[in-house]
Amino acid sequence: GAGVSQSPRYKVAKRGQDVALRCDPISGHVSLFWYQQALGQGPEFLTYFQNEAQLDKSGLPSDRFFAERPEGSVSTLKIQRTQQEDSAVYLCASGPEREQYFGPGTRLTVT
């Protein structure tokens, strides 16, 4: 595709539910990043893949957060037992390491 796509664009989850957020990076991009953006804040780094290898997961806020990229293209961010503080926009980016191309994000609301 022409850009990074993410689905769903909006997700409402009840507290305690598990959610899965999908990212389709730009074709051929080796690097893939996940960021979390809370209201009124800038995006904050969660995790980074180079192909299928997860090279840095230092930003994942708890062990409820898990990301994978099994075939080196599509990535999924999974949040288990969602909490209200997980409500945020989750952004995926791909591309050359510093000039990252962002998708539109998934807005997660935990009620």
Partner 1 sequence: DQQVKQNSPSLSVQEGRISILNCDYTNSMFDYFLWYKKYPAEGPTFLISISSIKDKNEDGRFTVFLNKSAKHLSLHIVPSQPGDSAVYFCAGWGGYGGATNKLIFGTGTLLAVQP
Q: What minimum distance in Å lies between the beta carbon of 45 and partner 1?
A: 4
Phi, psi (degrees; rounded to nearest 5) at 85: -70, -10
Asked if 57 and 32 count as a contact pair (C-beta separation under 8 A), the reply is no
For residues 20 and 55, which CB has a smaller minimum distance to partner 1 in the complex? 55
Q: What minimum distance in Å lies between the beta carbon of 81 and partner 1?
A: 26
Residues 6+ positions from 98 with CB-CB distance below 8 Å: none
For residues 68 and 80, which CB has a smaller minimum distance to partner 1 in the complex? 68
Rounded to whole angstroms, how far apart are CA atoms 97 and 32?
Answer: 9
Give me the residues that bind partner 1 (CB under 8 A), please.
4, 31, 33, 35, 40-45, 48, 55-56, 58-59, 91, 93, 97-105
Q: What minimum distance in Å lies between the beta carbon of 95 and partner 1?
A: 9
Phi, psi (degrees; rounded to nearest 5) at 86: -80, -10
For residues 17 and 104, which CB has a smaller minimum distance to partner 1 in the complex? 104
